[in-house]
Structure 1
C-alpha cells in the first residue's frame, strides 16, 4: 500500500484492479501524468496519490459524473486527503489540529468523521482528542467542514473539507438525473410559452 496517499477510493469487492485502471485513465484525462494507486489489502478499498490538488481531482470527478453519469463504472466514492501521518493518536491529533487551524474559518461549524480499519484506535478516542481542542461549534447534521480521519493499518489520512468534497458516484448520478429533469421541464415550459405568441 502507498504510504503517502491523498485520495481514498471505495469500489466494489474484487474490483480493486478495475478501479485503479479507471482512476489512472481519468487522471491522465485531466492532466495528471504522475498518478499512482494501490490496493490496501482490504476488500473494496484503494488509495491513490495524484500530483494535482486532491480537491481539484475530486471536483473534476464530480463534474465528469454530472456530465456523463455512467463514466465511472468501478469507483463508488472518492475522498480527498490533505496529509498522511503515522496512525498514532498523537500524530493524528496534531495533524488534524494543524489542518483545522488553516482550513476552518473562525465562524465555521464542523464535525469529526472517522473511518478506522486494521487498527486498535477507537472512533471515540480520535473524535474526543480532536474535538476537545477546537473552539468552533459542532454541527453533526450540516457542518461547514468535516475533519476527516481515514485510518488504514499504520497510516492515517486526514482532511478538512466541505462535505460535498467527498464524491459519492451514486449520489451525484441522482443529482445529474434531477438536473436533467429540471432542464427538460424548463424546455417544455419554454415551448408552451412560445405557443402562446
Structure 2
C-alpha cells in the first residue's frame, strides 16, 4: 500500500472520529435541553397545582368556619329540642301512670267496659312506644350534644390563645410607647 493512501485513509478515519464525536456531543446537548425543558414544564405545573390547592384550602377554611357557626346554632336548637323532649317524656310517663290507675279502677266493671279497657291498653302501648322512641332520640341528641360541646371547647381554646396573643401585643405596644415618650423627654 502506498504511504500517501495510508495517510489519506488515516486522515479520513480521523475526520470520521471527530465527526462522530461532534454528533454525539450534539445529541447529548439536545437530550439535556429536552430534559431541562421537561423539568421546567413540570415545575410550572407543580406551581400551578400548588396555587390552585392553596386557593381551594382557603375556600375550605371559610367553609369550615361557616360550618362551625351553623353547627353552633344547631347545637343550641338541639339543646332546646332535648329539653322539650324531656318534658314530653315526663308528660307521657305521667299519662302512663294515670292510665294504669284508670285501668285498675275499671277492672271492677270489666264485663261492661271491655271495649274501653282494650282502647286504653292500645293507647298505653302507643305511649310506651313513643317513650321508647323519645329515649332513643334523646340518646342520639345527647351524643350529638357531646360532640358539639367538644367542638365548642376547641373554639374557646383557640379564642383564648388569640386573646393571649393580643394581650402580649398590647403589652409590647405600651412598652414601646413608654420608651418613645422617655426618649422624647430626654431630647
TM-score (ref. length: structure 2): 0.21
Hey, which of these two has a bigger chunk of helix by percent?
2
